[in-house]
Amino acid sequence: MSQHGAAPGRQDAGEDKQLSREEQDAILNLQQGLLAAIARGDEPQALIARLCLLQEQLVPGAVASAMRLNAESDTLQVLAAPSIPDEAQARLHNLRPGPGAGSCGNAVFRGEPVFVSNTFSDPRWADLRAVAVDFNICACWSMPIHGAGGRVIGSFALSSFEHRAPGVFHRRLLEIGAHLIGILLERQAQDTQLRLAARLFDTSEEGIVITDAQNRIQAVNPAFSRTTGYTADECIGRRPSMLSSGRHDKAFYLRLWTELVRNGHWQGEIWNRRKNGEIYPEWLVLSAIRDNTGQITQHVGIFSDLTEYHASQNRIRFLATHDVLTELPNRMLLEERCGQVIAWARKAGHRVALLFVDVDNLKLVNDSLGHTAGDTLLQSVAQRLRHCVGEKDLVCRQGGDEFIVLLDELPGLEAATSVAQRINDHLGAPYHTDSGELVTSVSIGIAMYPDDGDDFNALLRKADGAMYQAKEAGRNTFRSHHLDADPDALDELVIRNGLRPALARGEFALHYQPILCLRTGRPLGAEALLRWTHPTLGDVRPDRFIPVAELSGHIVSIGEWVLREACRAAAAWPLGDLQVAVNLSPLQFRHGALERCIAEALSASGLDGRRLELEITETTLMGDTASLIEQLSRLKAMGVRLAVDDFGTGYSCLAYLRRLPVDKLKIDRAFVADMSEDADDASIVRAIIQMAEGLGVRTTAEGVENAHQHATLEALGCAEVQGYYYARPMPADDFVRWLAGRVVTPPALT
Ligand code: C2E
Ligand code: MG
Ligand code: MG
């Protein structure tokens, strides 16, 4: 290296001299030495220090140093200065570039090489003069280091212990030094950036997927695996379509790709499918990465899972449209729905009902048990209300103790009232709460579209008004303007709705009206007559409710109860051979279970079949004769007696009466009642009695109210009588007492 020792001396003489062979070799050696170190993978910091030492070997009497610009603080820091004492380094630390900041401060400040041959006098060393003197730095040549994009990122300097200017060789060394350090620093920055990117990739909350030009997955990050459920191994090499949910059509993906290729990026919400099959929304940002020639080499997709965002959006939407306490829709939602439902009803021609439901004694509960108890009650009320209506119907809490029910697609008012009745029934049952058992009831006002109005507000006003009427009527009931015009119609509905629960609630009872032998006055038996005490209507006459029960089909189960109850009562009568007559509805015949039911009633009570008489109306007999005759014959085989009730009022085909196994005709009380005035009626009664005699069938006259009728019937030869003249229908116990008051000889059973 000694030959280079002379070089600076030579350079002093002429600056534009070419480099000598030795100098060129020296520079090549320097570069090779450094490249070898780079290839070894030495740290940039160590490489720069090594560069400094190599340069110092080529420039005797000089020391090399590298400084880096901290762009944020705009100060220079010593990067490497292996031969400069620490105290000197300390004094150069945090040097701010400027016109008096020495060679390096100036090189960075100006962005050009600065060669100071006399640091003791040069104004560019004004700020560092003391350092120059203290450490005997006589000359200093500095070269700016450029980074990516030509930015100045530091300086490389050779400081000489003698006053001198740099020669071509020195400048070349400085250029090479600055250039190499620039590359090293830039690479270090890139490394840092790559490491940063890798770290971001690994720790990002966002899922990241990288695909190649053919859109095959090259890499996915841990967040991707967390969200999708697929590990990197499971997706690398596959296409991102492995995640597709099927929710988007081809056109959607086509638009996405077109935009990605055209603009280099796409972003939007997309639904994908996790490994476990769950479909979820994500916000996806896609970028296309191109090489120098503009070819797409990769795609990067970054996404965040929107599931929770959606859930919270949904929650916000829910809270805006629902009541917080009961989670029922609020009035806003109801009003909107009501509008839609009415619009549809107008087209489809059906009815819609709005039920205004007011909890009757919420205030009492609040005042006596506190608001928590009141809240619990409201929640239970809400729950029960929901159970009372169909899926299409809407239950909303209007506020306080008021609920509104919207019933859709109704055939008529009746359907609404039966829901109202159901609500009254269900909401009136006790509530088991932490505060103990609570009882409440609701008052309901009904308004119908189109009968009461054709928009939400009109209907609500009507329903509200009707609700007040329900309150006035004693609460726990329902009212409607429409119904109130016709109280009978209301009763009919109340009857219909009340029949279903009546049996279970024990609202029925049987009364017994004696049937007597006209000649002797002996009781032969009694007719069981059904009585119903309705909770609000009170006693309802059979004429009123039996046709309704027949229409609704309830008569079948009610009739079965009557049979069981009548047989049970008759079996306990003190006179062991009295007959009990039970009225049957035509519907019971058409319902297959009649025979079984009679057999069960007889065996359960132990009553002899011969003591049971079934009263059949003429309408029953008009049915399918062949099967009816069979049915009646089977009943007869059980010993049971058969009577035709209300005979003469219907269409009686005398011809087939002959073929029916009938034991008795009951002459309708209309004929008996009119016998006194109307000679025709007396003749009808006479004709019936004669015909019955001809058929070998007994007769009972119904509705005998006075002695005159009694005498006439006696004269006509009627065998049996029944009517107020002898006894009214009476409760079971009264009948037993009535019997006990009679001294009778039981008639022989035929
Ligand atoms: P029905 O079978 O003709 O019963 C006789 C009806 O005449 C009874 O009326 C009875 O109270 C009434 N009656 C009896 N004597 C007199 C009288 O002297 N004057 C007047 N004005 N009426 C008298 P009720 O109890 O109101 O029963 C009416 C109808 O209801 C019965 O007529 C019967 O068709 C039906 N019915 C009663 N109970 C049942 C039952 O358990 N099942 C079925 N399917 N129908 C029943
Ligand atoms: Mg009868
Ligand atoms: Mg009758």
Domain boundary among 464, 485, 506: 485
Residue 558: CB atoms within 10 A of its CB come to 22
What spacing in Å lies between the alpha carbon of 87 and ligand 2's midpoint?
A: 129
Assess whether 350 and 390 both reside in one domain: yes
Q: Is residue 527 part of a domain?
A: yes
Neighbours of 573 (CB within 10 A): 21
In this prediction, residue 184 carries a pLDDT of 87
Task: Say which CATH number the domain at 295 has.
Answer: 3.30.450.20
| Closest ligand by atom to 620 CA | 1
Instruction: Supply the mean pLDDT for the chain.
Output: 88
Give yes or no for residue 190 having a pLDDT over 90.
no
CA of 704 to the centre of ligand 1 (A): 13
Residue 14 binned pLDDT confidence (cut-offs 50, 70, 90): very low
C-alpha to C-alpha distances, 662 to 616, 624, 657, nearest whole angstrom: 10, 16, 8
**Quick one: 178 and 264 in the same domain?**
no
- Closest-lying ligand to the alpha carbon of 566? 1
Residue 13 has pLDDT above 50, yes or no: no
Query: Measuring from atom 7 of ligand 1, which residue has the nearest CA?
Result: 703
> Which atom of ligand 1 lies closest to the CA of 550?
44
- For the cut 60, the answer to whether the pLDDT of residue 103 exceeds it is yes
- Residue located nearest, by CA, to atom 19 of ligand 1: 703
Residue 408, domain extent: 327-485
In a domain, 17, yes or no: yes
243 & 288 share domain: yes
**Same domain as 535, residue 469:** no
**Higher per-residue confidence, 674 vs 541:** 541
Q: What is the CATH number of the domain that holds 436?
A: 3.30.70.270
Q: Which of these, 522, 542, 517, 523, lies nearest to 532 by C-alpha position?
A: 542
Evaluate: CB of 724 within 6 angstroms of ligand 1: yes
Task: Provide the pLDDT for residue 118.
Answer: 97
With a cut of 70, say whether residue 158 has pLDDT above it. yes
Mean pLDDT throughout 286-314? 90
pLDDT of 548-586, one tens digit each?
A: 888 777 898 999 999 999 999 999 998 778 999 999 998
Together in a domain, 23 and 56? yes
pLDDT digits (tens, 9 = 90+) for 364-376: 788 888 888 889 9
> What per-residue confidence (pLDDT) applies to 733?
95
Same domain, 230 and 169: no
pLDDT the model gives residue 147: 87
Kindly state if the Cβ of 562 falls inside 6 Å of ligand 1.
yes
CATH number at residue 70: 3.30.450.40
* Nearest CA residue ID for atom 45, ligand 1: 583
198: in domain: no
Q: Is residue 646 in contact with ligand 1, taking CB distance under 6 Å? A: yes
Residue 513: CB within 6 Å of ligand 1? yes
Q: Which ligand is nearest to the CA of 725?
A: 1
Amino acid at 687: A
Judged against a pLDDT cut of 60, whether residue 744 lies above it is answered with: no
Q: CB–CB of 315/254 below 8 Å? A: no
pLDDT of residue 2: 37
Percentage of the chain beyond pLDDT 70 is 93
413 pLDDT band (50/70/90 cuts)? confident
**Given ligand 1 and candidates 503, 529, 548, 642, which is best to mutate, with the most ligand atoms within 8 Å of its CB?**
529
Residue 683: band (very low, low, confident or very high) from pLDDT cuts 50, 70, 90: confident
Q: Would you say the CB of residue 560 lies under 6 angstroms from ligand 1?
A: no
> Is 379 within the bounds of a domain?
yes
Q: What is residue 629's predicted lDDT score, i.e. its pLDDT?
A: 84
Query: With 50 as the cut, is the pLDDT of residue 393 above it?
Result: yes
- Judge whether 331 lies within some domain: yes
**Which amino acid does the sequence have at 175?**
E
Per-residue confidence (pLDDT) for residue 550, from 0 to 100: 81
- Measure the CA–CA gap between 114 and 80, rounded to whole angstroms: 19
What percent of the chain clears pLDDT 90, i.e. is strictly above it? 61
179 found inside a domain: yes
Of 246, 279, 311, which closes a domain?
311
C-alpha span between 128 and 144 (Å, rounded): 18
Domain-ending residue, one of 485, 506, 539: 485
Q: Which ligand is nearest to the CA of 515?
A: 1
* 342: amino acid identity, one letter: I
pLDDT digits (tens, 9 = 90+) for 471-515: 877 777 888 876 554 556 556 667 877 888 899 999 999 999 999
**Mean pLDDT, range 71-80, rounded to an integer:** 94
Checking if the pLDDT of 9 tops 50, the result is: no
Q: Give the model's pLDDT for residue 447.
A: 94
Do 436 and 502 have their domain in common?
A: no
* Closest listed ligand to the CA of 728: 1
Whether residue 749 has pLDDT greater than 70: no
Both 385 and 514 in a single domain?
Answer: no
Q: Answer yes or no: is the C-beta of 166 below 6 A from any ligand 1 atom.
A: no
Neighbours of ion ligand 2 (CB under 5 A): 583, 615, 645
CA distance 447 to 631: 48
pLDDT at 743: 56
Q: Are residues 471 and 561 in the same domain?
A: no
Closest ligand to the CA of 581 = 2
Q: How far is the CA of 743 from the centre of ligand 1 (A)?
A: 27
Same domain as 425, residue 352: yes
pLDDT of residue 422 exceeding 80? yes
Whole-angstrom distance, CA of residue 640 vs CA of residue 36 = 123
Same domain, 551 and 688: yes
- Residue appearing with tokens 């009664």: 685
Does the C-beta of 539 come closer than 6 Å to ligand 1? no
Evaluate whether 66 touches 181 at the Cβ level (below 8 Å). yes
Q: How high is the pLDDT of residue 144?
A: 97
Residues 519 and 597 in one domain: yes
Instruction: Give the residue, out of 583, 584, 705, with the most ligand 1 atoms within 8 A of its beta carbon, to mutate for a pocket test.
Output: 583
Q: How confident is the model at residue 328 (pLDDT cuts 50, 70, 90)?
A: very high
195 found inside a domain: no
Q: What is the pLDDT of residue 124?
A: 97
pLDDT in tens, 426-461: 998 888 888 777 778 899 999 999 988 989 999 999
Specify the pLDDT at position 640: 96
How confident is the model over 664-687, as a mean pLDDT? Answer: 82
> In angstroms, what is the span from residue 586 Cα to ligand 1's centroid?
16
pLDDT, tens digit, 9 for 90 and up, residues 122-152: 999 999 999 999 999 999 999 999 987 889 9
The CB of 650 under 6 Å from ligand 1? The reply is no
- Kindly state if the Cβ of 584 falls inside 6 Å of ligand 1: yes
Residue range 18-30, pLDDT digits in tens: 788 888 888 888 8
Q: How far is the CA of 554 from the centre of ligand 1 (A)?
A: 18
Biggest distance spanned by C-alpha atoms of the chain: 172
Within 10 angstroms of residue 437's Cβ, the number of other Cβ atoms is 8
How many domains, in total, are found in the chain? 4
Average pLDDT over residues 203-209: 90
Q: Is residue 3 part of a domain?
A: no
Q: Is residue 147 in contact with ligand 1, taking CB distance under 6 Å?
A: no
- Cβ(530) to ligand 1 under 6 A? yes
